[in-house]
Amino acid sequence: MENPYVRKAPSPQQTLDIFEGKWASRFPGSFSALRAGSNALFEDPRIDWACNCLNDLGINLRESSVLELGPLEGAHSYMLSKRGALSVTAIEAHKEAYLKCLVSKELLGMERVNFLLGDGVQFLREIGHTYDVGLACGFLYHMKDPVELIDLLCARVKAVVLWTVYWSQDFATKHPDRPAGSGAVSTVQYKGFDCRLHKHSYGDGFDYGTFFGGPDNFSNWMELEDILAAFKRFGFGKLVYSAHENPNGSALSLVATKG
């Protein structure tokens, strides 16, 4: 085993280097010169858009408790905290990603954020309380049972912020070389709601240290119309959304509330 002791004075870079080569995110502000990842997730316009939508819908983030699923490295948790969220509870299942969240919290001082290690879906199944806002950014399309996740979110929060890729024939036709939900198609029924699921395989032999997908080697992607219909079916009839193309598939940004 490599000698685990550090012999230099403390520094933010030294802390980040615990996970050298494994960061996805570039750190914000005065930390931006540090060596980490390349993605500007700490300054993500998807979160700015969602916060503005929540405000337009009359939801005051400063008075809201937030449940975040899959925080990855704590970037969106940080943005919500900076926007004044009353509290953020972020559930991360990937052990190393969870530890990176703790590093981010320590470096950036997220006092109102609580990171928990565990399965977010199981957490939703078991809790007996609710949150004001639920955030699932880059989470739904990693699920084997995505309709159940939508149902659970609608039962546990008052407003949902969602970003996900979804299966579309248009994307599949334009990009036949990409795996975007190109596996077997099945029709499923969940609590009387019917939808089509498209199997998406992650393949085999990937490095979990740099893999940011789900816990299984495949997931099921929904179609846009079914995602929107599912929210309405489970009581969230007021939808603000934008669909656009993403390198990994057609993508949806959505804020949903009851109504």
Instruction: Give the pLDDT score at 174.
Output: 87
Angle at 198 between CA 196 and CA 200, to 5 degrees: 160
pLDDT, one tens digit per residue, over 32-86 is: 999 999 999 999 999 999 999 999 999 999 999 999 999 999 999 999 999 999 9
Instruction: Give the pLDDT score at 217.
Output: 83
pLDDT, one tens digit per residue, over 88-106 is: 999 999 999 999 999 999 9
pTM above 0.85, yes or no: yes
In the chain the domains, ranked by start, together with CATH numbers, are 44-257 (3.40.50.150)
Instruction: Give the pLDDT score at 176.
Output: 82
Residues of the chain with pLDDT under 50: none
Please enumerate in sequence order all residues whose Cβ is within 8 A of that of 122, keeping only pairs 6 or more positions apart, or say none.
none
Spatial CA neighbour of 31 closest among 75, 86, 76: 75
